Amino acid sequence: MHLTQQEINQFFKIWCALIWGVNEKHIFIPKFEKPIYGTSTMIKEPFIHIREELWKNPNLIDEFIRDYNYGELSEAELGILADWRKYFVKGRFIVIKHTKKYSVFMTESKPTKLYGVCGISDSIKDTLPHGMPFIVNAVILPFNSKIIYDSLLASYNISLGKNIRDDLKSAYKKTLETVGIIENMELLPIPAKSTEKNSKATKPVLVVDTKGANVPNAMSARYMEIAQIIEDFCDEKLDADYKELCLKALAKLCRKRPSPVASGRVRTWACGIVYAIGSNNFIFDKSQPISMTASEISEWFGLSKSTAGNKATEISRLLNLSYFDSEFTLPSFVEKSPMTWYLSVNGYMVDIRTMPREAQEIAFYKGLIPYIPADRKELTE
């Protein structure tokens, strides 16, 4: 199995943007041109070298997301990058079996894990037509509820003896029956022994198109139900920036395990998200360009003010909303809000922008500030 053409385009859009952006920041390869899917750039040494530097220091992905200002990637696509950083697995694998859905990668290290890995533009069976089993070096990543690799596979042309093959098959069978195959890095696998017992009781999962939002399949229908209400409200009362932040918050809540939004009234969740995000961006302050009262928000959703406020408080806790964290702050507030830049240094509250660059870099790498001001200024000049 491999990705659809739409998924292929999205993957390479994100992957090429990441490689190029990381090199723009650190100049691993001078005068490196932005790679384009479908060209030979992606199999040449400069691209491969930057890829190696990236996986040596995956914190570069965090840095890329925090400092991203090229405008090419959507919030959902930056969310996919965040999942790559969180779940990626790098190492040697034994390709133990091909199925119609994916190829099964078995970890070489203990404890043994099995991953169902899809091809990108072609199935792995067609990409590497070796006799089974065989060994590969790979970096595997989550992508739209599937598992793929980062566009490059290095295989070993080594013939494995019968005893080794038997041991590998035995390890595969044992892991399959006791642990199962990981098909989605955000979900626990189901052991093969449990599949038959649970097949009659398991209800089919309704999967719907989430317009690129990074949410588990099991939460896709619920996400869209709540998202539609949020979009209607934001289109009528707020703006595109507010809508993007609210949908980002909803997607993050859907990815929690277990997800709190799986139960309860959809209008209550939609109202609570808008209320919480609005409160975090001073929506109740009449001096702001966009302002509303708590009553105006709750009445639009058909809820009481207390119900809306209580749900917003719950959501603020679940998302750790804070005036000092820019994750859910409107772009217009990030630079001018002192809350973004005031940090405690040696017990004193200081504006980090007035501190030496070394202190700013430490704060940036810890995720305490969204970017280093001088770097942003250079890009805008």
What pLDDT, on the 0 to 100 scale, is given for residue 110? 85
Share of the chain above pLDDT 70, in %: 87
* Alpha-helix residue ranges (DSSP H) falling in 113-161: 124-127
Q: How far apart are CA 80 and CA 7, in angstroms?
A: 12
What CATH class has 217-331?
mainly alpha
Q: Give one word for 284, left, alpha or beta, with left for phi > 0 and alpha for psi -120 to 50.
A: alpha
Give the closest residue to 265 by CA, choosing from 225, 297, 205, 315.
225
Is residue 169 exposed (0-12), middle (13-18) or buried (19+ Cβ within 10 Å)? Answer: middle
Please check the confidence at residue 130 and state whether its pLDDT lies above 90: no
* Alpha-helix residue ranges (DSSP H) falling in the chain: 5-26, 45-56, 59-66, 75-87, 124-127, 162-178, 192-198, 220-237, 240-255, 266-280, 294-300, 305-319, 331-334, 338-341, 357-365, 373-380
Give the closest residue to 246 by CA, choosing from 221, 227, 223, 232.
227
Q: How far apart are CA 33 and CA 43, in angstroms?
A: 14
Give the closest residue to 326 by CA, choosing from 368, 291, 282.
368
Cα–Cα distance list, 3 to 7, 25, 81, 279, 302 (Å): 6, 30, 17, 40, 42
Please check the confidence at residue 336 and state whether its pLDDT lies above 80: no
At 337, list the tokens.
Answer: 């809000």
Q: How far apart are CA 45 and CA 115, in angstroms?
A: 28
Average pLDDT over residues 147-174: 88
In contact, 234 and 246? CB cutoff 8 Å? yes
Please check the confidence at residue 150 and state whether its pLDDT lies above 50: yes
Total-model pTM:
0.54
Is residue 314 exposed (0-12), middle (13-18) or buried (19+ Cβ within 10 Å)? Answer: middle
Share of the chain above pLDDT 90, in %: 50
The DSSP result for 173-222, as a single string, is HHHHHHT-EESSTTS----HHHHHHHTTTPPPPP----TT----GGGHHH
Is residue 40 exposed (0-12), middle (13-18) or buried (19+ Cβ within 10 Å)? Answer: exposed
At 124, list the tokens.
Answer: 């792995």
Please check the confidence at residue 338 and state whether its pLDDT lies above 60: no
How sure is the predictor about 202, in pLDDT bands with cuts at 50, 70 and 90? low
Please check the confidence at residue 114 and state whether its pLDDT lies above 60: yes
Q: Where are the domains of the chain?
A: 5-86, 88-196, 217-331, 335-380
At 6, list the tokens.
Answer: 């739409």
pLDDT digits (tens, 9 = 90+) for 27-72: 999 989 888 876 766 778 899 999 999 999 999 999 998 888 777 8
In contact, 92 and 133? CB cutoff 8 Å? no
Which helix or strand (DSSP H or E) is residue 97 part of?
strand 89-98
The per-residue pLDDT of the chain, averaged, comes to: 86
Q: How far apart are CA 46 and CA 23, in angstroms?
A: 10
